[in-house]
Amino acid sequence: MTTPVPGFSLQRFSLEGKVAIVTGGSDGIGRGIAHGFADVGAKVTIAARRQEKIDAVLAELDAKGHEALGVSADVTDPAGVERVVQATLDRFGRIDILVNVVGGSQGPTFKRGVLLDLDVADFMEAFNVNVTSAFLCAKAVVPHMRERGGGVIINMSSIGAREYRAPEPGMSVYGMTKAAVMHLTRSMAKEWEPDIRVNCINAGHVLTPRRAATESPERRARSLAEIEVGRFGEPEDIAAAAIYLASDAGSFVNGAFLDVHGGT
């Protein structure tokens, strides 16, 4: 009996034949993941609120010859989540991967603030955007994944979840909600193993269009000084980690937190 020769094929990173839903896929990290997944063979559904931004990404993917679907929906609302899931099944007939990117530290309906000044509505909206959305989307796709033998869920957290980071005021609730996403990831992984793998990416300082438009030069300089590799992350850096976790290359990874932060 001969001993198998160790080896590795890049084909293990392929998502050929898979169908992925990417929430928040119309901009920033979500857009990068949508492109990355499509480039390695997946059919992608982009879920986001603004139709015009969805259409712009769909045009980019179409220009590269990729098949994708866009659904305008609020994924903090169960009805919106169901619309995304049903549209994906109607178009592609299956769901193999979910990436919960929707989230943020402020938005059109809520704002940052130090704890004593924060309205309850803003606190709850931050929680809904960052945590409830991930819970609702995951809960909706798991039965369909199990019908086909399994699937992968990737939740998006942040380095801000691991400790209180004080350079910018008003980020306490953001850090709390992202820590909740990490705990939710472990709960999902434990409850849904072995057929559903659930992991979490803790993103560092990623230079998204939103950040470029809103961050002051002084704040950006402080952020850059924290990064040991000497540059900001790009959405493609997070997409590479997501491809690993979603593909057969990451098939032995479950309930894990993958820090992608340049050594912050």
What positions carry a catalytic annotation?
174
Task: Find all residues with CB under 8 Å of 119, minimum gap 6, and list them.
Answer: 113
Element (H, E) at 212: helix 209-214
- 144 Cβ neighbours under 8 A, 6+ residues apart: 85, 89, 94, 95
Kindly state the tokens that stand for 221. 């300089």
Residue of 100, 93, 180 lying closest to 139 (CA atoms): 100
> CB 72: neighbour CB atoms within 10 A?
18
Scored b (16 or more CB within 10 A) or e, 150-184 reads ebbbbbbbbbbbbeebeeeebbbbbbbbbbbbbeb
Contact between 135 and 127 (Cβ < 8 Å): no
Distance CA 82, CA 80 (A): 5
